[in-house]
Amino acid sequence: MELIHGFEPIREQNIPELKTAARLYRHVKTGAELLSLVNDDENKVFGITFRTPPRDSTGVAHILEHSVLCGSRKYPLKEPFVELLKGSLKTFLNAFTYPDKTCYPVASQNARDFYNLIDVYLDAVFHPRLTPRILEQEGWHLEPENPDNPDGPLRYKGVVFNEMKGAYSSPDSILAEQSQQSLFPGNTYGLDSGGDPRKIPTLTFDGLMSFHKRYYHPSNARLYFYGDDDPTRRLAIADEYLRDFEPIAPDSHVSLQPPFDRPRRITHPFAAGAEEAPQEGEAPAAARGMITMNWLLPETGDPVMSLSLQVLEYILIGMTGSPLRKALIDSGFGDDLAGVGLESDLRQMYFSTGLKGMATENAGRVEALILDTLSGLAASGIDRETVEAALNTIEFRLRENNTGSYPRGLVLMLRALTTWLHESDPFALLAFEAPIHTLKGHISEDSRYFEKLIERLLIQNPHRTTVVLEPDSGLAERTEAEERERLEGIRQSLGPEGLREAAANALELQRLQATPDSPEALATIPSLKREDLEKTNKLIPSRRIEAEGTTFLLHDLFTNGIVYLDIGFDLHPLPQHLLPYVPLFGRALTELGTEREDYVALSRRISRKTGGIHAETFTSAGGIGDGRGAARLFLRGKAMSHQANDLLSILQEVFLETKWDNRERFRQMALEEKARQERKLIPNGHQMVNLRLRAHFSEADWAAEQMNGVTYLFFLRDLLQTIEQRWDEVRAALKEVHRILVNRPALIVNATLSEDDWKSTRPAVERLLRALPASESTPSLWTPSLPPVNEGLTLPAQVSYVGKGANLHEMGYRAHGSMQVISGYLRTSWLWERVRVLGGAYGAFCMFDRHSGGFTLVSYRDPNLQKTLDTFDETAGFLKQTGSGLDGDELTRAIIGAIGYMDAYMLPDAKGYVSMLRTLTGDTDEIRQRLRDEILSTTAEDFQRLGEVLEGLSKEGFVKVLGSGSAIEETAAARPGWMTVSKVL
């Protein structure tokens, strides 16, 4: 057989439903496999994946993932990855560690950029320059707590060490990890591939090196290409790296978990807030427990089984009225569902569901309830419409292939890897037409198809676990004490000489981290030139019409036969005390039930007849008209064009006939909402801090905090009390929100669809509008009461989110496109080095809103507090210094990065929605083009000028910190009176 660049073709298959030709190749010399998906998607994707099952919980796979991105043979920089982040048109660039694999994916719409990214990634994984210093930086090292006292107490530091401390602070991630591990005590899935902070410090440099040598080898590699680039060139690019290697047998096989003969039960503690009288609306610690039941399911390789289980998951818990979800929520044992649902990324699938916000003494009852509900379904049968609803939704998702901000090609890569990684057919899960057809056949032949699955795979399956997570208010302290003790032991055993060595070592690491890359090293990073950048913005089609007294925005885009419809209600007419009701009001429209149908039937109908309807708020200081900015609630729906009439009649029914007096259902929704808001605090603390800072900068941003921020959480806790004690008030408020919002002249209708589909859909849209009430809409006056200027918001966490911000417009700054260049540069250089590399935080963000003038700096999973605030304050000085000596290439890279951000890839529904938001905020095509021109012509002087403006930040800026109580108390105590401390959790 004739080889193509060292590869032999193994298989080829057309996948018409993806408009893709799929080809599988094998690199003959090394055994590396390459999956090549050829189609006309300009958002090209490349990925290289290694099978990396760890054999312990030291986080070796995860630390290696970080480490190989710290310099390689051809690119001898400290962090080539970061240079790419700064100066590429990438639409995706990241790396992931899974329990069994490590993936390095990149994506770009620009072919030259795409090839640059691939080369840096291939050199990184095959020829990294691993050194003990890199393990120390990315993994862990010791340093004196106080650098002036090298003989004093020690502490651990390192990026992954800290990242995992953050993960171990999140009850949800502990629950997910414990649930998975409980099912797989016998194989690699029973370990923590991310790394257990207690085990991470046992990883040695030799351990890291041998893991690399064994697993990061072509014989253990799976390469992937997707998109409209030249298919033959793909093989040449890969061969150039692969051919230097001799084949090995890496033995990275993931074994099957041996079956249990009886179910197991595990109890595990998690750190909960101190045991004191709960605040109003807050659950007592005892009711903050969680439970999941988990079942091991078949292997992932069978596409019909895999699809069947996706449908079954949707039947059981996917809809608000799904029988298992409903039974759990109705039981009153907990606030919200727990568990990941169907997990299908590993070699064997599993299903995990349960409750959170539960008193652990009810664990047995919850378990019995789940089993009884399943038995009931198996015995008396699942409602036919529920099956139809689940099947329609899963099929819609496959056809829509809406991957949000993720490139489509990346999602397909992960889907292919599910089977490919374990030597089964990589095409198996890509094509969906045949499995859907087969599944529909099974369902029509056997009316008890899903009931039998429930019986066989859940009820009669002895490979099942129950995991109970118990709140333990002393755990955080004990964990800290244990770590201190361990470090004290190490300190004693090191002795004075060893301690000085450790201190010197830490200093040397800091010195290296603070030393910039040489210009020669930087020059190795391949980069586009300014001439390669498009000078003009790509425009999104948008047409405005007025009909039925309402504004319509239409976007004629190819959507594969799907109608996307957004209906926006103006929030300005609401009196301000009703603002926090808006998110629940939006959910209530589809989750409370109507005069004709209860919420179970309604949620089923939405799933049967549409691709989904959900509510979303939008606020921006930018606006047209009275200068108050935009504040809207959107109801966003989608459907295949032949279902558009169903979508519209559902919308009409929920707008006009929602049954506002269903107290019990509304109480459940409020409880869920509170649980979800609390759950956001740890993974998304930076967003909460940012919202809280921005509340000071404009009325619209203040409204956003009322509807999404910490204020909203406090509102929900009060609301739960009010629902109990004065339901009439709550019902009256909801009716008032309804009366004010559902008003034709204050609506905007946004439709993204083809011109033909618009012609056939338009009459139904107009019919809907005619049915809605119309009266004069008068804006209310809002008088924001702002939170304290400097705030510490405490939670039981080992890390913090630290933020500082100021309104630059008030400090004399006029919005200019160069800000996009500079803020990206700050994030990837100054903040990255100080807050992440030196500070040990996971990252830091820099955001500017050109409508309000709000400028914010926020760190993520940060072990420091005051030190980060100092860095923020020194930003002005850094910019002024940079401005005087900024290297031309560096500036170009920053400009490319900003253009890449501006040209972010969007799927059609996102294009239509974003175009409408631009209209609402007054962002015309002319303004956006000026922004682009300003980005392209940014100079070093712009850095200097911004530095001068930011000088005011240290004195005039606001500080918000969400996180570790002890760190906050300490900072507050250092300067009595300047910071208001309150407890959030």
CB of 159 to Zn ion, least distance (A): 7
Secondary structure (3-state) at 13:
strand
What secondary structure does DSSP assign to 557-568, as a single string? ---TTEEEEEEE
**Of residues 52 and 711, the one with the C-beta less far from Zn ion:** 52
* The token pair that represents 798 in the structure block: 């080992």
Nearest Cα neighbor of 828 from 905, 882, 884, 904 is: 882
- Sign of the torsion angle spanned by Cα atoms 617, 622, 625, 627: positive
By beta-carbon proximity to Zn ion, the closer residue of 163 and 701 is: 163
Nearer to Zn ion, 102 or 752 (CB): 102
Window 684 to 743, contacts with Zn ion (CB under 5 A): none
Neighbours of 487 (CB within 10 A): 17
Q: CB–CB of 295/307 below 8 Å?
A: no
Report the C-alpha gap between 104 and 125 in whole angstroms: 9
Q: Which is nearer to Zn ion, 163 or 591 (CB)?
A: 163
Annotated catalytic residues are: 65, 138
Element (DSSP H or E) covering residue 48: strand 44-51
Which DSSP helix (H) or strand (E) runs through 357? strand 348-358
- Residue whose CB is less far from Zn ion, 200 or 454: 200
Gap between the Cα atoms of 401 and 413, Å rounded: 13
Residue 827, both tokens: 């994030």
Are 526 and 116 in contact by the 8 Å Cβ rule? The answer is yes
Rg (CA), the chain: 28
Q: How far is the CB of 137 from Zn ion (least distance, A)?
A: 13
| H-type alpha helices, 127-254 | 132-134, 159-167, 171-183, 205-215, 231-242
Residue 379 CB contacts under 8 Å (≥ 6 apart), including other chains: none
Inter-residue contact 111 to 117 (CB < 8 Å): no
Q: Give kind and range of the element (H or E) at residue 21.
A: strand 20-27
Q: For residues 820 and 898, what is the distance between their CA atoms, to the nearest angstrom? A: 6
| Size of the chain in residues | 985
Q: Kindly compute the dihedral angle of the four CA atoms of residues 431, 434, 435, 439, in this order, to the nearest 10 degrees.
A: 160
Q: Which SS3 state, helix, strand or coil, does residue 426 take?
A: coil
Backbone angles phi, psi at 616, to 5 degrees: -155, 135
Please state the closest distance from residue 160 (CB atom) to Zn ion, in A. 6
The candidate with the shortest Cα–Cα distance to 107, out of 88, 126, 125, is 88
For Zn ion, the closer of residues 50 and 878 by Cβ is 50
Q: Which is nearer to Zn ion, 163 or 395 (CB)?
A: 163
**In whole angstroms, how close is the CB of 125 to Zn ion at the nearest point?**
16
Nearest distance, CB of residue 82 and Zn ion, angstroms: 14
Rounded to whole angstroms, how far apart are CA atoms 814 and 811? Answer: 9
Q: Which stretch binds Zn ion (CB under 5 A): 155-163, 613-621, 797-805, 972-980?
A: 155-163
Task: With residue 971 as reference, give the H or E element that holds it.
Answer: helix 965-974
Q: Which is nearer to Zn ion, 278 or 683 (CB)?
A: 683
Q: How far is the CB of 856 from Zn ion (least distance, A)?
A: 24
Rounded Cα distance, 653 and 666, in Å? 18
Least separation in angstroms between residue 68's CB and Zn ion is 12
Query: Which is closer to Zn ion, CB of 62 or CB of 288?
Result: 62
Of 229 and 862, CB closest to Zn ion: 862
User: Which of 414, 301, 309, 289 has its CA nearest to residue 358?
Assistant: 289
Measured from the CB atom, is 498 or 843 closer to Zn ion? 843
Stretch binding Zn ion (CB under 5 A), from 158-166, 247-255, 645-653, 853-861? 158-166
Residue nearest to Zn ion (CB): 163
Stretch that binds Zn ion, among 157-165, 359-367, 470-478, 967-975 (CB under 5 A): 157-165
Piece of the chain touching Zn ion by CB under 5 A; list 17-25, 159-167, 351-359, 434-442: 159-167
Under rule CB under 5 A, which residues in 162-181 are in contact with Zn ion? 163
Binding flags for Zn ion, 813-852, as an x/- string (CB under 5 A): ----------------------------------------
Q: How far apart are CA 849 and CA 819, in angstroms?
A: 10
Q: How far is the CB of 150 from Zn ion (least distance, A)?
A: 30
The residue with tokens 């890359």 is 517
- Helix 663-681 with 685-694: angle, nearest 10 deg: 100
Nearer to Zn ion, 163 or 934 (CB): 163
* Contact assessment for residue 689 and residue 960, using Cβ atoms and an 8 Å cutoff: yes
Query: Whole-number minimum distance, CB 67 to Zn ion, in Å?
Result: 11
Kindly state the smallest distance separating residue 754's Cβ from Zn ion, in Å.
42
CB-based contacts of 266: which residues, under 8 Å, 6+ apart? 178, 182, 465, 466, 467, 468
- Residues in contact with Zn ion, counted by CB under 5 A, come to a total of 1
Evaluate whether 317 touches 603 at the Cβ level (below 8 Å). no
Backbone angles phi, psi at 833, to 5 degrees: -70, -45
Q: Minimum distance between the CB of residue 664 and Zn ion, rounded to whole angstroms?
A: 43
Task: Return the structure tokens found at 722.
Answer: 């009010």
Find the shortest distance in angstroms from Cβ 163 to Zn ion: 5
Q: Say if residue 125 is exposed, middle or buried (CB neighbours under 10 Å; 0-12, 13-18, 19+).
A: buried
d(CA 650, CA 638): 12
Nearer to Zn ion, 81 or 427 (CB): 81
Shortest distance in whole angstroms from residue 350 CB to Zn ion: 24
Other CB atoms within a 10 A radius of the CB of residue 941 amount to: 12
Which residues lie near Zn ion (CB under 5 A)?
Answer: 163
